[in-house]
């Protein structure tokens, strides 16, 4: 049986305190922090499974009482009352996140419909036609395209996704981290983070890869995840929700991919985009700590 640590203790009473404790417990669930609330000698006790989470709970409760989570409290209360129906305002509260998702779905549609001239315009390398076959341009040709002013190619590969699983996995994680950052730091900071990470990850993938066509938001996702994870550590508080173990699992998957595990199953993974996106995210966190 897992060991429990007492984090907080409150006198049990009906009314506002009970309701606040329930909402605070829901907040902890929303942040993926495992815990239990139990009655003990006429008091409500909040138990956690990791000793270091005691300080996290103290900090979160202080911010909870100060009203920093008012918007989240409303969403929690609505969910608890089964009123968490879809509302358009939730989408438009984070316009940059919404915009990137829409452009990614558009990019996936171009691939699905095999609209190669448009795909060529969005890809990093650009595509050529040789003996009726599509080929990616060589490096010297790419530099010529960039010199001609086609600088959007440095960023737009993130909108290209090559199958349904590819875009679904990327968008789920992207929305999870991007919405948090946009709500906390604003649209400008999120957009700048996305562009910086996309630039570094795309350049790295192009430079170190063997010339294959690449695309997707995964480099950006790695960067945003690393940014949120490291910022929590540097500020010694739970600034952003990062599911336990996600960072470790992601790095392990990236390492296995570098060793060629997924290529055995015919999967082409943009390893350098993942690695350099992660490094870029760590660097941004260190700058903004």
Residue 53, token pair as written in the block: 């989470």
φ and ψ of 213, to 5 deg: -65, 135
Rg over alpha carbons for the chain, rounded to the nearest Å, is: 23
* Three state DSSP letters for the chain: CCCCEEEEEEECCCCHHHHHHHHHHHHHHHCCCCEEEEEECCEEEEEECCCCHHHHHHHHHHHHHCCCCHHHHHHHHHHHCCCCCCCHHHHHCCHHHHHHHHHHHHHHHHHHCCCHHHHHHHCCCCEEEECCEEEECCHHHHHHHHHCCCHHHHCHHHHCCCCHHHHHHHHHHHHHHHHHHHHHHCHHHHHHHHHHHHHHHHHHHHHHCCCCCCCCCHHHHHHHHHHHHHHHHHHCCCCCCCCCCHHHHHHHHHHHHHCCCHHHHCCCCCHHHHHHHHHHHHHHHHHHC
Report which of 255, 253, 167 is spatially closest to residue 217, judged by C-alpha positions: 167
Residue 109, token pair as written in the block: 């549609």
Candidates 120, 201, 218, 250; catalytic one = 218
Q: Please indicate whether residue 166 is annotated as part of the active site.
A: no
Q: Please indicate whether residue 274 is annotated as part of the active site.
A: yes
Active site residues: 218, 274
């Amino acid at each position: 049986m897992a060991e429990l640590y007492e984090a907080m203790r409150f006198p049990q009473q009906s009314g506002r305190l009970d309701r606040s404790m329930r909402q605070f417990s829901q907040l902890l669930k929303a942040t993926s922090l495992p815990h239990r609330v139990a009655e003990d000698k006429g008091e409500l006790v909040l138990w956690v499974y990791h000793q270091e989470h005691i300080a996290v709970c103290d900090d979160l409760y202080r911010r909870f009482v100060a009203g920093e989570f008012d918007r989240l409290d409303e969403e929690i209360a609505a969910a608890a009352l089964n009123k968490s129906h879809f509302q358009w305002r939730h989408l438009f509260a984070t316009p940059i996140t919404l915009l990137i998702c829409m452009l990614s779905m558009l990019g996936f549609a171009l691939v699905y419909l095999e609209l190669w001239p448009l795909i060529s315009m969005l890809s990093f390398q650009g595509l050529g036609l040789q003996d009726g076959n599509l080929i990616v341009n060589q490096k010297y040709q790419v530099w010529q395209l960039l010199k001609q002013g086609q600088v959007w190619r440095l960023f737009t590969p993130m909108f290209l996704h090559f199958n349904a699983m590819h875009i679904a996995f990327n968008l789920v994680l992207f929305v999870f981290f991007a919405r948090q950052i946009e709500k906390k730091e604003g649209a400008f900071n999120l957009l700048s983070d996305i562009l910086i990470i996309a630039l570094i990850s795309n350049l790295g993938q192009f430079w170190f890869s063997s010339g294959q066509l690449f695309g997707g938001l995964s480099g950006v996702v790695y960067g945003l995840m690393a940014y949120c994870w490291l910022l929590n550590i540097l500020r010694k508080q739970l600034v952003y929700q990062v599911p336990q173990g996600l960072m470790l699992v992601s790095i392990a998957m990236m390492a296995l991919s570098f060793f060629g595990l997924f290529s055995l199953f015919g999967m082409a993974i943009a390893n350098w985009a993942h690695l350099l996106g992660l490094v870029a995210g760590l660097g941004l966190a260190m700058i903004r700590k």
